[in-house]
Structure 1
């Protein structure tokens, strides 16, 4: 069995304790990423098993057509539209789902919230260039004294999506003395009410009232581009949007246009439409947007947990006792 592990940017996987689970097998790790069906098909042509690093590589039907040996795709998280599961089933390729721990993403969300609210990246960047207590942020579209950071205590935190990550973020906000408002499905709102949080009467009120809005929705056809420029324009000039969930929750270029207009006044973003992004990406050029390179789940303990489960699924499949298969019909298809 040839095992290929993709997109290990930090060359971390081989150094994990759980890497020993694959010692008995032939496994190759790629630390760079390639795009396009042609390049990917060359890289994966001899693979019997692919281990994906979250959503960094997309597997579609056109690529699968060029991978006749492939028998298993092992995920390091939950499945999504980055893998064509239906095509995999038809071709007899099993897809094994992994585990997701919300802690790393929730903690990064909170770190970005605090850093942006106190203007830490701007202060740190300017200090390295000799500017003392200068945060920049002097655009005419921004409120007076916007460059001076603010505390979170007494402000309102908006959490859209009250799942495992959203629930943790809401708890952090409460611990910092913020009022927590939740928006989402009826089930999410009822759960938030039961936990003592507040519910907005409408989505527009939610965006218009909250000082921080953090997105924690899963991407689906119903949530794709659900955050429109019109919604963003209802936010206060002093407010901030945080997105550590998925880039396609926000309409194309909507955040860029809203930030240029100063509503909201600030954003913190960990996810992008096409990754890795280029150095000249438009959001990187905005002084009122702080960006991180999709590191919400990139954390030592989380990596150990994610890849340990993925490798367990690989070994179980090779031994003929597949586990966590999301498309069991694939196991019945003769290859």
Structure 2
């Protein structure tokens, strides 16, 4: 019997190019979905009859209500070893095994710095002007050396962002609810006295926190009002940590120099969404983990997960 495997959000058609699926194709038919499926009704219809689903990061939620509508589903593979949008308890109740894969922190670190540098040197407007016959030099760049980089979160990704900040000659400070002076010092940063102190004093603020009850809405209108009008805010972590409406209002009134976003409340971001035309915004379509090396890991280990499941010995089981 041939099983069917759906690969979701394969926007670039890269899933089969990034990994060798031949170890399972004798028993599994692989179907890539290159367009995002937005609603639960559409997902239930599209995935009906699929025994295996491979989902990318946390772009598609699998709540109990959806899992109940997918009686054929037996294996759900998620890239990364943590996924907050899968109802793991419901998956167990419905007999669905959930497995993960390894994931590198390098790509989001590099993208964070691409956004910081792009903002500081106005790379997009200057490139657009150069290519379209616009003015020669219309902006003045912001220096990074000697400025303060404030990191909200100093974990696996934040600590690497800190080291690059030091290489640029920046003073690095960090804050999170459980961060200690010793841990901050080990990453080459100083511990800010409070979140508010970090926001007031930083020239660049970058978010590297996990989303949870304590971090949801961590930066709202009162917190954004603490930023200097020359400060840049970057979020490559989770959209819900920063109040999107408050940030949009702050950008329109010039309350900060600019923002770099890779994450959004709605993904893909709808055509006509106000963030698409917001001033002082450098935005990318959730590219944080989208690199060939990471895709080779994601999809290569997805194949391993499927093969192990078919052999009756699942690996990297989540939840």
TM-score grouping bracket, smaller chain normalisation: over 0.9
- Runs of 4+ aligned structure 1 residues displaced above 4 Å come to none
Superposed counterparts of 1:82-97, under 5 Å: 82-97=85-100
Deviation, structure 1 residue 171: 0.7
Aligned partner (choices 257, 260, 271) of residue 249 of structure 2: 257
Q: Contact conserved, 2:162 with 2:188, CA < 8 A, in 1?
A: no
Counterpart position of 1:26: 29
Say whether residues 1:108 and 2:108 are aligned partners.
Answer: no
SS of residue matched to 2:282? strand
| Inter-CA distance 188–263: structure 2 relative to 1 (3 Å threshold) | farther
Deviation, structure 1 residue 292: 0.6
Say whether residues 1:290 and 2:279 are aligned partners.
Answer: no
Counterpart position of 2:264: 272
The aligned length equals 316
Q: Contact conserved, 1:182 with 1:189, CA < 8 A, in 2?
A: no
Aligned partner (choices 121, 130, 134) of residue 131 of structure 1: 134
- Give the TM-score taking structure 2 as reference length: 0.95
Say whether residues 1:5 and 2:7 are aligned partners.
Answer: yes
- Superposed CA RMSD: 1.5
Counterpart position of 1:143: none
Deviation, structure 1 residue 129: 2.4
Q: Contact conserved, 1:183 with 1:189, CA < 8 A, in 2?
A: no
Counterpart position of 1:311: 303
Counterpart position of 1:14: 16
- Give the TM-score taking structure 1 as reference length: 0.90
Q: Contact conserved, 2:174 with 2:189, CA < 8 A, in 1?
A: yes
Superposed counterparts of 1:1-335, under 5 Å: 1-24=3-26, 25-135=28-138, 147-187=139-179, 189-327=181-319
- Whole-Å separation in 2 of the counterparts to 1:166 and 1:62: 35
- Whole-Å separation in 2 of the counterparts to 1:245 and 1:133: 35
Residue ranges of structure 2 left out of the alignment (5+ in a row): none
Counterpart position of 1:333: none
Q: Contact conserved, 1:18 with 1:304, CA < 8 A, in 2?
A: no
Residues 6-26 of structure 1: CA deviation (Å, up to 9, x unaligned): 110000111113333433322
- Whole-Å separation in 1 of the counterparts to 2:266 and 2:79: 20
Deviation, structure 1 residue 252: 4.1
SS of residue matched to 1:213? strand
SS of residue matched to 1:253? helix
